[in-house]
Amino acid sequence: MYIIILGPPGVGKGTQSKLIAEKLKIKHLSTGDILRKAIDDKTELGLKAKSIMDSGELVSDEIMIGIIRESLSNEEARKGFILDGFPRTIRQAESLDKILSDMKLNNITVLNITAIEDELIKRMTGRGRDDDSIEVVRNRLKVYREQTAPVKKFYSSKTKVIEVEGIGSVEEINNRIINLLTRIKS
Ligand code: AMP
């Protein structure tokens, strides 16, 4: 399966994507993880991305589209993937469309996980990540509302977006998702 997982920061996309990837034996592609690894490895990309991520803003579309194009250009990706953290802007979504159609991949499944902002703030400020201070969390949510929420509308206008309520235990939410995915697969 080829899955795009959407939803606000703190909703559990990363945790759920990992579980889905294990269960469906597909590749988990997280742009946040790729950037955090670049920061740890002190690469040029990491140096550029660090201050942007620490402020809760988005790394440029150009850089992110390059990363995704590269990550999808191998045989492993063809066998299936779940894209976590990308696309985050309309421009990224349009570029992804083009990349996937060049790869002749259609049948993309789009999942959207939801939760109310108070719950997201509570979860994120409890995670202990560098970009999880209250001011940065508020900014990440603002950036989400302004730049990323429209991505869901972009997909809704062309395909069915599977809505999942991101409230409950990790396991409950995961069961919910796997049930919905099994339904479309069969
Ligand atoms: P995440 O782990 O998905 O919450 O991403 C952490 C941070 O990495 C975000 O707040 C952004 O600064 C950056 N980032 C991750 N993915 C993207 C993307 N597709 N476009 C722009 N910035 C991104």
pLDDT in tens, 1-33: 999 999 999 999 999 999 999 999 999 999 999
Residues framing ligand 1 (Cβ under 6 A): 9, 31-32, 35, 52-53, 56-59, 64, 85-86, 88, 92, 131, 140
- Band of the pLDDT at 186, cuts 50, 70, 90? low
* Residue 140 pLDDT: 96
Answer for the pair 26, 82: CB distance below 8 angstroms, yes or no.
yes
Share the mean pLDDT of the chain. 95
Interatomic CA distance for residues 85 and 90, integer angstroms: 13
For residue 60, the ligand 1 atom closest to its alpha carbon is: 21
Which atom number of ligand 1 is nearest to the Cα of residue 53?
Answer: 12
DSSP code at position 73? S
Q: What is the band of 184 on the pLDDT scale with cuts at 50, 70, 90?
A: confident
Q: How far does the centroid of ligand 1 lie from the alpha carbon of residue 186, in Å?
A: 33
Q: How far is the CA of 140 from the centre of ligand 1 (A)?
A: 9
What is the reported pTM? Answer: 0.95
Task: Please report, for residues 15, 172, 176, 184, the alpha-carbon distance to residue 169 in angstroms, rounded to integers and kept in the order given.
Answer: 11, 5, 11, 23
The mean per-residue pLDDT over the stretch 51-78 comes to 96
